[in-house]
Amino acid sequence: MRLTPRSAARLFPVLVLIAGSAGTAAAQETHDHLVTQCVDIPPGENRPDYGCWVVATAHDLTFAEPSIYWHLRKFPSTQAAEAAKTRTGVVGEVEGQVWLSDFGSKDMKLEGGEKVAVIGPLELPKAKSYDAVFMHAVMRPLDRSRVHTHPGPEAWYVLAGEQCLETPNGAQRASAGGTMTVTPDIPMELMIVGSEVRRSLTLVVHDSTQQKSIPSDWKPTGRCLQ
């Protein structure tokens, strides 16, 4: 039987951790589904099984156009990816594979590597320069992000599982092999739906003078569970 989001809610109840309860049997049997932010973990250090991590960041990028596309490719080695990247490219290793992200027009000329996806358009806010943050996330059914905004667009390439993004404009979904984008400065909550662990590559291109993620007071309506 296929596990729906509504039936998953009965199987994976959200745990509200109360001070002093972390050592209880309930805390050991389940988990808090809130993933607050993507964190920096230096290369070589062990990551937890689930969460969101910054893989690589390109700083102080400039673009001539008001929107860009994310060109995602795989390479056999870091050296090959570094040799092929453009001036805005960022290289990172995820799950034993080397990924190169380049940014520009939809039909920009790129050489080498295995083309995986062209994602966009990504609408840029007005800024003197931008940071491009390349991330990797592994989240369980009903895991969700905090409600937040970004001072720039966010995009996803889903490696496995299924995700749902709710914003004031509604809800959108993407599953393995699919992509998703969202415009700057819009409040959002990301939730993992379906019955599988969701693994994704994530990109935020934001104004270099601001933090990549900002908490929001907007209240989701639960459309991802409908």
Q: What percent of the chain has pLDDT over 70?
A: 85
At residue 38, φ and ψ (nearest 5 deg) are -85, 135
Instruction: Pull the structure tokens for residue 7.
Output: 């039936």
- Of 80, 123, 225, 90, the C-alpha closest to 166 is 225
What is the rounded average pLDDT of the residues 47-51? 89
Position 206 pLDDT exceeds 80? yes
The pLDDT mean for the chain works out to 87
What is the rounded average pLDDT of the residues 31-40? 79
Position 75 pLDDT exceeds 80? yes
Give tens-digit pLDDT for 126-175: 999 999 999 999 999 999 999 999 999 999 999 999 999 999 999 999 99
Please give the Cα distance from 186 to 175 (Å, whole number): 22
Q: Considering the domain 5-225 in this protein, what is its CATH number?
A: 2.60.120.10
Range scoring the smallest mean pLDDT among 44-48, 77-81, 102-106, 176-180? 44-48
Residues 6+ apart with CB under 8 A from 77: 98
Q: Which residues pair with 61 in a beta bridge?
A: 130
> Would you call the peptide bond into 153 cis, given omega within 30 degrees of 0 as the criterion?
no
Q: Where are the domains of the chain?
A: 5-225
**Confidence label for 30 from pLDDT (cuts 50, 70 and 90):** low
The pLDDT value recorded for residue 5 is: 44
Contact call for residues 135 and 55 (beta carbons, < 8 A): yes
Higher pLDDT, 37 or 117: 117
Q: Map tokens 């083309």 to a residue.
A: 115
- Of 23, 224, 28, the C-alpha closest to 141 is 224
Please give the Cα distance from 101 to 74 (Å, whole number): 9
Range scoring the smallest mean pLDDT among 5-19, 156-170, 197-211? 5-19
Distance, CA of 42 to chain centre: 18
The amino acid at residue 21 is S
The pLDDT value recorded for residue 119 is: 98
DSSP E strands, the chain: 34-35, 39-40, 51-61, 67-75, 90-94, 97-104, 114-123, 130-139, 144-145, 148-149, 154-160, 162-167, 170-175, 179-182, 189-193, 198-207, 214-215
Q: What is the CA radius of gyration of the chain?
A: 18
